[in-house]
Structure 1
Amino acid sequence: MSRAFTREDDNEAIADIGERPVSSHRNLVTEHGLALIEAELAELREELGKAERQADRERLALVSRDLRYWTARRESAELSVPEPGSDVVRFGMGVTLEGDDGKKVHWKIVGEDEADPAKGTISHVSPMAVALFGKSLGDTATVNGNEWEIVKLTSGG
C-alpha cells in the first residue's frame, strides 16, 4: 500500500473521533469541581504540546477535542457554594438518607463532570438530587419506587 493511501486512511480515522457532547444543563460546579476542570485543562495543554512535538496526529486530534470540551466547561462553569447551616438541600451539600430497609447512604450533590456515585457524589441533574432539592431534615423523597428519609445535612459534603 502506498504512503498516500495510508495517510488518507489516517485522516479518515482522525475525522471520525467526533466532539464530546456538552450538557444542556447549567454547569454548576463546587470549588473542588472547578479545581478539577483547571487541572484537566493544564494536563491537556501539556499533552497537546507533547503531541505536537511528536507529530502524533491522532493524539493531537483527541487532545484537541478534549481541550475544546474542557474549555467550554470552564467558560460555562458557575461556582456555587451552599450557605453554611442551610436547613434545606441545595447544590454542594451532603445528604445522609435512610431507606425503607433502614440502610443509610450519603451523597454530596455536585456538578455533572464531578459526579462519581462510587465515591459518594451525584450530579445535580440526577433523579435523586432533583427529588431532594428544597427538602429538609425529616422529609422524604421517592426515587425509582424507593422512599428515602433525610436524616442529616452537611454544608461541606
Structure 2
Amino acid sequence: MSRAFVKEAGETEVFEAMPDRPVSPHPNLVTPEGLAWIESELARWQAAHAEALAGDDRAEIAQTRREFRYWTARRASAQLVPPPVQHDQVRFGSTVTIARGDGRQQNWRLVGEDEAEPAQGTLPYVAPLAGAVMGKSVGDRATIGTEAVEIVAIA
C-alpha cells in the first residue's frame, strides 16, 4: 500500500481522508443507460463501504468513502437526456458515422462523461470530436484539429 495517505503516529497508523475525485465542470448529461450505470456504481460503492466498515479496514474505508462521495455527487448532478427522436442532426445520445480523409469510417455514440468508453465506441459529449460534429447533419463537414471529417450517417 502507498504510504501517501498514512501518517506515522508512533506504532499506530492514522488514515487521513482521501481527497475527493475531481468532478468535471461541465453539466452532467447522461443517457438512460448512463444514469442506470451511475446508480449501479453508487450502490456498489455503498456496499463496499459498508463491508469496509464492518471489517474495520481503515484503508478500505477511506477509499470507499471517497468513491461513494464521488458517485453520490454524480447522481445528484445527473441530468437525464432522453434518446434523440429525430436523426437529422447530431445530438447528445446520437450515434454518428464519420468518414475520415484516409477513407476510414468510424461510429461514435455521444454520451455523458462517466459512461464514455472510446474503446467501446462511446465518446463523451465534451470531447473535441463530439463538439465538432454536434449539430451537424449528414453531408456536413467538421474540422477536428487539422483533419476534416464528413458526417455520413446519424442514428
Query: TM over 0.5: same fold?
Result: yes
Q: 1:143 to 1:4 in 2, by over 3 A?
A: closer
Question: Deviation of residue 116 (structure 1)?
Answer: 1.0
Q: Scaled by the length of structure 1, what TM-score is found?
A: 0.90
Match of 2:67 in 1: 66
Q: Which runs of 4+ in 1 moved over 6 A?
A: none
Identity %: 46
**Structure 2 residue 6 is matched with structure 1 residue 5:** no
Residue 65 of structure 2 aligns to a residue whose secondary structure is helix
Higher-strand-fraction structure: 2
Contact 2:138–2:151 (Cα < 8 Å) also in 1: yes
Contact 1:98–1:148 (Cα < 8 Å) also in 2: yes
Q: Scaled by the length of structure 2, what TM-score is found?
A: 0.91
Contact 1:48–1:60 (Cα < 8 Å) also in 2: yes
Match of 1:49 in 2: 50
Amino acid at match of 1:94: T
Query: What is the 5 A alignment of 1:33-112?
Result: 33-112=34-113
The Cα offsets for residues 13-40 of structure 1, whole Å up to 9 and x where unpaired, read as x326311001110000001100100100
Residue 137 of structure 2 aligns to a residue whose secondary structure is coil
Alpha-carbon distance in 2 for matches of 1:47, 1:146: 45
Amino acid at match of 2:76: E
Contact 1:142–1:148 (Cα < 8 Å) also in 2: yes
RMSD: 1.4
Amino acid at match of 1:107: W
Higher-helix-fraction structure: 1
Q: 1:6 to 1:113 in 2, by over 3 A?
A: farther
Q: Paired residues, what number?
A: 148
Amino acid at match of 2:56: A
Structure 2 stretches lacking a partner, 5+ long: 1-7
Structure 1 stretches lacking a partner, 5+ long: none
Question: Deviation of residue 108 (structure 1)?
Answer: 0.3
Alpha-carbon distance in 2 for matches of 1:112, 1:18: 20
